[in-house]
């Protein structure tokens, strides 16, 4: 049985109490709810709404549940008060047309006041105050009857506090709260608005009215009575837990405070030492738990709706750890602690841990990079604003943080508030709108290294027509130099050997980068003997093809005849990749549905990447099906054809248009047989058989709702498969197994290796702990204190803590004793101090001992007077640190 007062014990007692009263135990619903008015389940009654609204007939008349909930409107207040948290557990009992006010009041009062030995919570009646709706005299009478309390202990409150509705027409009714008086230290006597003093632990909703014309929380019409009277109650598990556990707030209860303790170990700071740090510790504890529970129920970080809430929670937790001085990855240290605390109530956390951890840790990695650069920029901007005597961070600074460094605006607002600054949000929104307006124009902007559009326009005007692209039919063509742009971005007339310039021909076979296809490379040979290497090809303005070239020899001048020679092998390899992209796109739409639309691509020599819309990871079976489908059609050697037709005819033919690009009246449609048809300006192979083979390497997420597949084509794919074949053959030989047996054989080896590692770790820990008796026997007297100080090579922080506590337990309890263990693992020292009751009475503090040692070791530490822990970076000073602790005990 769970220890009395733990969260698990509270859950158990609540459910057992109501099961004994004929209630059906209903499991918690997932946090995600199919309700347009809610992001997440935010109350215990949400899963029962269809019953309360009369939309469905309940399969039971009485129910009890422990419902996980998330409320996010008060994220900024988390940690600043003792009441605000995002994730919480709501213990509720419900009656659907069965018992009403009397039954709800009797059942609640019985559980709250019943002695712990009888299965109740054992709260003192003298500290409990029922509250009622001021216009509900029936409830007053029922509370008197159930509790025997005098009239002045039953508090009358108005609609705002004690009338419940869903905020829309439908069921509603008066409610009663059970308030717990925490004493005068938390507020004035009789001030029932002082929530820290008169803490609401349970709300009993008496659903009896049919509401209409709901205008606000306190302004509505009562159309009449409900056909059936219902009961909806909610008891806050966290609030009852911190009362029963004698804690100050919800953050210090058994399922939350260990996360704070781990954060203290990681940061070397103490909870309770600094109000600002306390807020950060609480944010960490709350947001880690909330994020874990949300991911467990299927939420993934994103930029909208639920995903944005999760992203915000994760990033606030990470940033709080950084403000506490911890710069390394924090979530891999904190999430497992919260998992172990919550798994007793929610075992699916363990079963689905790999996915949960992967999602959370990937988000932290992304945000750490954002913070690395963005925080520095923000601090500079904030300091400049303060130096200038202004109290508002400009909209353009906030926009730059968002646009350049990936800072979400809410993070900028929070950081500004911490520095006493406001943010020009209107200016930020205006710049965001301007950015969206110019997005398409920016996508088509030049890629030239220095040149302004004016130089390109000057050359285009001089040319008088579009550059003729001949690359669909040939890879070598004759032309003449019609324009040159120098390194400074100005139009020039000539360039000599070694210069890098941009060059325009009147006609060219070189493909300019576009539509995901990389630019051609090659050479241009001039009639005067000069030779140019083509490094890049772009189309900075419509109708102009610009070659970035390096003059290898001779001189280039305007009007010089030129022969352009494309690198044929590169062109062929890129063309194979481009055709393969079309085929893979079509195959994914067949496998995953029409929503799997291309969202980007890059066609490079021998390889390509293909981005497409998807709600989640692509199953391995789908990847295999796509690869098989494409290679079957490669073997079918389908003809690849390009046709010019009107846009209307192209649409009628089933051709796809991508990226929302604007097309002219005449478009180019590329078809792979009668199978795949797309509008495309790129170059392709003549037949699908020219691809040879297509090998999909894998898929991954590159953003919210977008997946990326990477693949090899042709000889690159063949070489990859050949290497894999050699590796498989070598493994088969080494493991004496057929290729198809390798996965099972390798899994078996890995399992045996893990088992061996566990056994080795057990033996090592056993050997370590076996030394505890010897350590205790070597205790020395330091000014009346039995002291054991040991340096243990190979021991990490956890092992040092276990050893220190074991040694302390072996020392006489009636004599002051202190233990200090310094473990050194991989060159990093960890310090743990443990002091018995007699030692603390003699003035020895484990916290002080750890600080004395950790300071010398270049680190920090802290904890309580009985046990404290810390660490450092300088293992060379462990002996000096031990002597410092000896001196501190002797000199106390």
Residue 544 pLDDT level (bands cut at 50, 70, 90): very high
- pLDDT at residue 116, rounded to an integer: 95
Question: What confidence tens digit (pLDDT) does each residue in 485-521 have?
Answer: 998 889 999 999 999 999 999 999 999 998 889 999 9
DSSP 421: -
CA dist., res. 155 & res. 842, Å (int):
49
How many residues does this entry show for the chain?
A: 892
Whether pLDDT at 442 is above 50:
no
Confidence of residue 450 (pLDDT cuts 50, 70, 90): very low
What percent of the chain is modeled with pLDDT above 90?
55
Is 70 exceeded by the pLDDT of residue 436?
A: no
CATH no. for 771-890: 3.10.310.40
Distances (CA, A) of 1 to 11, 13, 62: 12, 11, 26
Tally of CA atoms within 13 A in the half-sphere of 252 that contains its CB? 14
Q: Residue 446's pLDDT is what? A: 38
Tens-digit pLDDT profile for residues 4-39: 899 999 999 999 999 999 999 999 999 988 776 788
pTM reported for the whole predicted model: 0.52
Look at residue 305 in the predicted model and tell me its pLDDT. 80
pLDDT band of 418, cuts 50, 70, 90: confident
pLDDT of amino acid 474: 95
> Which residue blocks in 136-271 are alpha helix, DSSP H?
137-147, 159-162, 237-244, 257-267
Assign 662 to helix, strand or coil: coil
Span 207-247, pLDDT tens digits: 999 888 888 878 899 989 988 899 999 999 999 999 999 99
Q: How far apart, in whole angstroms, are the C-alpha atoms of residue 685 and residue 571?
A: 10
The neighbour count for residue 738, using CB atoms within 10 Å, is 9
CA nearest to 868, candidates 884, 853, 883, 890: 853
Top-confidence residue, 414 or 808: 808
Please say whether the beta carbons of 142 and 105 come within 8 A.
yes
Domain ranges in the chain are 7-247, 257-388, 453-566, 571-721, 771-890
In the predicted structure, residue 409 carries a pLDDT above the cut 80: no
The secondary structure of residue 795, as a DSSP letter, is: -
pLDDT band at 662 (very low <50, low <70, confident <90, very high): very low
Q: Which residue has the higher pLDDT, 196 or 807?
A: 807
**Residue 439: pLDDT above 50?**
no
Query: For position 440, what pLDDT does the model report?
Result: 39
Measured CA to CA in angstroms, residue 58 lies from 48, 98, 173, 484 at distances of 8, 12, 20, 80
Topology of the domain comprising 453-566? Elongation Factor Tu (Ef-tu); domain 3 (2.40.30)
Q: What is the pLDDT of residue 793?
A: 85
Bridge partner residues of 131 (DSSP)? 155, 177
Confidence grade of residue 701 (pLDDT, cut at 50, 70, 90) = confident
Q: Which residues are annotated as a binding site for Zn(2+)?
A: 578, 582, 680, 684
Report for 55-59, 305-309, 631-635, 883-887: range of highest mean pLDDT? 631-635
Determine contact, residues 556/530, Cβ cutoff 8 Å: yes
Please give the C-alpha separations between residue 126 and each of 26, 199, 240, 864, in angstroms, as whole numbers. Answer: 33, 14, 16, 33
Which region, left, alpha or beta, applies to residue 348 given φ > 0 means left and ψ of -120 to 50 means alpha?
A: alpha
Mean pLDDT, residues 419-424: 89
Residue 125 DSSP one-character state: G
Highest mean pLDDT, choosing among 444-448, 705-709, 780-784? 780-784
Mean pLDDT of 79-103: 91
pLDDT of residue 218: 81
Least confident of 316-325, 364-373, 445-454, 774-783: 445-454
| pLDDT exceeds 80 at position 679 | yes
Element containing residue 588 per DSSP (H, E): helix 568-592
Rounded to an integer, the average pLDDT of 369-379 is 77
Q: Is pLDDT larger for residue 35 or for residue 471?
A: 471
Write down the pLDDT at residue 294: 94
- What local confidence, expressed as pLDDT, does residue 451 receive? 43
Residue positions in the annotated binding site?
578, 582, 680, 684
Task: Give the residue-averaged pLDDT of 97-112.
Answer: 96
CATH (one of 3.30.980.10, 3.40.50.720, 3.20.20.220, 3.90.79.10) for 571-721: 3.30.980.10
Strands (DSSP E) contained in 408-526 are 422-423, 468-469, 476-485, 491-492, 494-495, 500-505, 507-508, 522-526
Q: Give the least confident one: 125-129, 376-380, 393-397, 441-445.
A: 441-445
* Chain mean pLDDT for the chain: 89
Q: CB 489: neighbour CB atoms within 10 A?
A: 15
What are the pLDDT digits (tens) for 236-246? 999 999 999 99
Beta-bridge partner residues of 604: 607
Classified as helix, coil or strand, 212 is: strand
Question: What six digits make up the tokens of 550?
Answer: 């390096």
pLDDT-derived band at 658, boundaries 50, 70, 90: low
CA distance 719 to 865: 65
Is the pLDDT at 447 greater than 60? The verdict is no
Q: Which residue has the tokens 């994730």?
A: 87
What is the predicted pLDDT for the residue at 438? 58
Q: Indicate if the pLDDT at residue 420 is higher than 90.
A: no
Give domain 7-247's CATH architecture.
2-Layer Sandwich (3.30)
The residue whose two tokens read 């929503």 is: 595
């Amino acid at each position: 049985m769970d220890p009395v007062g733990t969260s698990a014990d509270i859950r158990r007692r609540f459910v057992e109490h109501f099961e004994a009263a004929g209630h059906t135990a209903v499991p918690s619903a997932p946090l995600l709810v199919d309700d347009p008015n809610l992001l997440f389940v935010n109350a215990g009654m949400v899963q029962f709404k269809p019953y309360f609204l009369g939309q469905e007939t309940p399969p039971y008349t009485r129910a009890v549940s422990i419902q996980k909930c998330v409320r996010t409107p008060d994220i900024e207040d988390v940690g600043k008060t003792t009441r605000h948290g995002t994730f919480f557990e709501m213990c509720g009992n419900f009656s659907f047309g069965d018992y009403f006010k009397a039954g709800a009041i009797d059942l609640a009062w019985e559980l709250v006041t019943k002695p712990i030995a009888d299965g109740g919570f054992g709260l003192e009646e003298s500290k409990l105050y029922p509250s009622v709706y001021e216009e509900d005299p029936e409830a007053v009478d029922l509370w008197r009857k159930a509790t025997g309390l005098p009239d002045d202990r039953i508090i009358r409150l108005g609609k705002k506090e004690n009338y419940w509705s869903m905020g829309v027409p439908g069921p509603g009714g008066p409610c009663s709260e059970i308030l717990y008086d925490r004493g005068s230290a938390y507020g004035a006597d009789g001030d029932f608005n002082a929530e820290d003093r008169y803490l609401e632990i349970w709300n009993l909703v008496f659903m009896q009215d049919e509401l209409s014309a709901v205008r606000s929380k306190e302004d509505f019409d009562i159309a009449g009575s409900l056909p059936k009277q219902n009961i909806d109650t909610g008891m806050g598990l966290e609030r009852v837990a911190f009362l029963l556990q004698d804690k100050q707030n919800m953050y210090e209860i058994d399922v939350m405070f260990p996360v704070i303790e781990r954060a203290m170990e990681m940061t070397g700071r103490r909870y309770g030492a600094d109000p600002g740090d306390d807020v950060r510790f609480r944010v960490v504890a709350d947001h880690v738990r909330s994020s874990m529970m949300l991911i467990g129920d299927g939420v993934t970080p994103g930029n909208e709706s639920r995903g944005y809430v999760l992203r915000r929670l994760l990033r606030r937790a990470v940033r709080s750890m950084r403000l506490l001085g911890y710069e390394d990855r924090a979530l891999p240290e904190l999430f497992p602690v919260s998992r172990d605390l919550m798994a007793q109530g929610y075992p699916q956390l363990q079963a689905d841990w790999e996915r949960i951890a992967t999602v959370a840790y990937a988000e932290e990695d992304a945000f750490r990079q954002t913070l690395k650069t963005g925080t520095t920029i923000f601090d500079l901007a904030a300091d400049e604003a303060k130096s200038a005597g202004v109290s508002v961070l400009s909209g353009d600074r906030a926009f730059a943080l968002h646009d350049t460094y990936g800072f979400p605006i809410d993070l900028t607002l929070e950081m500004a508030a911490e520095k006493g600054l406001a943010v020009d949000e209107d200016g930020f929104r205006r710049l965001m709108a301007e950015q969206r307006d110019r997005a398409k124009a920016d996508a088509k902007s030049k890629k030239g290294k220095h040149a302004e559009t004016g130089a390109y326009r000057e050359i285009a005007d001089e040319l008088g027509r579009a550059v003729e692209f001949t690359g669909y039919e040939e890879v070598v063509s004759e032309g003449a130099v019609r324009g040159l742009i120098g390194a400074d971005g100005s139009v020039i007339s000539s360039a000599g050997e070694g210069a890098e310039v941009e060059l325009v021909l009147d006609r060219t076979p070189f493909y300019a980068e576009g539509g995901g296809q990389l630019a051609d490379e090659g050479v241009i040979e001039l009639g005067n003997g000069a030779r140019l290497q083509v490094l890049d090809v772009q189309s900075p303005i419509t109708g102009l093809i610009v070659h970035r070239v390096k003059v290898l020899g001779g001189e280039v001048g305007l009007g010089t005849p030129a022969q352009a020679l494309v690198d044929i092998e590169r062109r062929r390899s890129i063309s194979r990749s481009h055709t393969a992209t079309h085929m893979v796109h079509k195959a994914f739409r067949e496998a995953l549905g029409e929503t799997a639309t291309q969202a980007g691509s890059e066609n490079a020599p021998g390889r390509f990447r293909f981005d497409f819309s998807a709600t989640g990871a692509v199953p391995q079976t789908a990847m295999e099906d796509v690869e098989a489908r494409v290679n079957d059609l490669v073997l079918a050697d389908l003809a690849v054809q390009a046709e010019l037709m009107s846009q209307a005819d192209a649409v009628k033919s089933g051709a796809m248009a991508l990226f929302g690009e604007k097309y002219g009246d005449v478009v180019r449609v590329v078809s792979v047989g009668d199978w795949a048809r797309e509008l495309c300006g790129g170059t392709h192979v003549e037949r699908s058989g020219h691809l040879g083979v297509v090998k999909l390497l894998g898929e991954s997420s590159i953003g919210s709702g977008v997946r990326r597949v990477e693949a090899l084509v042709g000889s690159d794919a063949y070489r990859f498969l050949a290497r894999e074949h050699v590796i498989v053959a070598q493994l088969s030989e080494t493991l004496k197994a057929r290729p198809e047996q390798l996965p099972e054989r390798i899994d078996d080896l890995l399992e045996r290796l893990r088992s061996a590692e566990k056994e080795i770790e057990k033996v090592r820990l056993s050997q370590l702990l076996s030394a505890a008796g010897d350590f205790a026997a070597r205790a020395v007297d330091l000014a009346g204190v039995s002291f054991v100080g040991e340096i243990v090579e190979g021991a990490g922080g956890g092992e040092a803590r276990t050893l220190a506590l074991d040694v302390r337990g072996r020392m006489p309890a009636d004599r002051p004793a202190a233990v200090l263990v310094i473990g050194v693992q991989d060159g990093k020292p960890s310090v743990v101090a443990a002091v018995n009751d007699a030692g603390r009475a003699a003035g020895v503090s484990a916290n002080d001992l750890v600080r004395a040692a950790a300071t010398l070791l270049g680190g920090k530490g802290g904890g309580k007077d009985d046990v404290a822990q810390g660490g450092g970076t300088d293992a060379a000073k462990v002996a000096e640190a031990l002597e410092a602790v000896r001196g501190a005990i002797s000199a106390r």
